[in-house]
Amino acid sequence: MNPESFNLSIIEDLGTNIHNCAAVPPMAREQLDAVGAHEYFHYMLGMFAAQPGNEGPSTHLLDGTAPTNAETNIHFWRAVVDICGQLGLHQQKKGDTTYAYPRLRLIAPPLLIDRLSEFVRPRLPALADHLQNALNPNTVYEEALERKKVEITGTDVQDLMGWLYSEAQLGLNHGVVGQIQQWRPRKVGMFRHMGLAKEPA
């Protein structure tokens, strides 16, 4: 049996065990039925990886290797971004006019940001570079949490979240991602919006 089929069989067995366990809340069993064992468990792994308290000395070691195992899974990274991210259409005023643009703020352990950058690099190389730049020693560091802060805006947010949610049944941001995907920039610049008002002169 090859490793991939072996891993999948373990996931399927775990899914069956959870579904048949009376002690598991009905909502969890319903979610498992709806999304399938593969998505469910990779999403749960991502949520666990993103939880506070999983930081330590090893999370500061950036090895630059290609993603492997769970790091190659889109459901894993959707969970990480859902837990570590603050996603929305940011409102900004200029004079009497309010403009909106997509913004994602990630506050995550340096190692997770590094691994996410390697995951997105083949598809979104500019975003991968942006994530790597956030690991610079001079960038914002939440010392109390041992986490780095990185802000992503505009079409980069659309590209990332549209991709992460393209196959998603399980996730915390379905509604917000739908709004963000409808946003269209009127021009390159700080004030991008959803047609709420004319661009400032």
DSSP 85-154: EEEEEEEEEETTEEEEEEEEEEEE-HHHHHHHHHHHTTT-HHHHHHHHHTTSTTS-EETTTTEEEEEEET
Whether the per-residue pLDDT at 3 is higher than 50: the answer is no
Whole-angstrom distance, CA of residue 130 vs CA of residue 19? 41
Task: Please give the CATH number for the structural domain made up of 36-182.
Answer: 3.10.28
Contact 143, 137 (CB under 8 A): no
pTM metric for this prediction: 0.74
Q: What is the pLDDT of residue 36?
A: 76
Contact 79, 44 (CB under 8 A): yes
Dihedral through CA 73, CA 75, CA 81, CA 84, nearest 10? -100
Whole-angstrom distance, CA of residue 105 vs CA of residue 123? 20
Whole-angstrom distance, CA of residue 132 vs CA of residue 113? 8
Contact 191, 92 (CB under 8 A): yes
Q: In 3D, which of 124, 14, 136 has the Cα closest to residue 74?
A: 124
* End-to-end Cα separation, the chain, in angstroms: 65
Q: What is the pLDDT of residue 28?
A: 63
User: What is the per-residue pLDDT across 154-174, written as a single tens digit (0 to 9) for each?
Assistant: 999 999 999 999 988 888 899
User: What is the per-residue pLDDT across 23-77, written as a single tens digit (0 to 9) for each?
Assistant: 666 766 676 677 777 888 888 888 888 887 665 545 555 666 667 778 889 999 9
Determine which of 24-38, 69-83, 88-102, 104-118 has the lowest per-residue pLDDT on average. Answer: 24-38
